[in-house]
Amino acid sequence: MQITENIVTFSFNGKSFQAIEGQTIAAALFANGVKKLGVSRKLQQPRGLFCSNGRCASCFVSGNGMDHVLSCMSLIENGMIIQSNESDPDIRRKIDGD
């Protein structure tokens, strides 16, 4: 019996990558050598995968226009556009008046 893997394409910060269907966003990024997922809000230090089970805020990315998606818990989709999170979500900036 032969097992076939469906390959999907996605982009991260404007660069094109491939992943296996069913991988999380974090797994797909790590498989492609991407370890920096964004920067911390307060100290502007690199953020990456930490707990891998959705309990921390270290792996947030923007996926298909949605801010602060947990990359360790969200599945990659074909054609997905992913951006690193470099700041607060837009809704917070709008509420705070920035």
Domain that holds residue 62: 7-96
Is 47 a domain residue? yes
Distance CA 27, CA 7 (A): 14
Is 1 a domain residue? no
Residue pLDDT, tens place only, 1-21: 665 689 999 999 999 999 999
Counted domains in the chain:
1
29 has pLDDT over 90: yes
pLDDT tier at 91 (50, 70, 90 boundaries)?
Answer: low
Residue pLDDT, tens place only, 39-88: 877 788 888 888 888 888 788 999 998 888 999 999 999 999 999 987 65
Beta strands 46-47 and 7-12: pairing type?
unpaired
Entry pTM:
0.81
Distance CA 43, CA 19 (A): 31
Q: What is the CATH number of the domain that holds 69?
A: 3.10.20.440
Is 49 a domain residue? yes
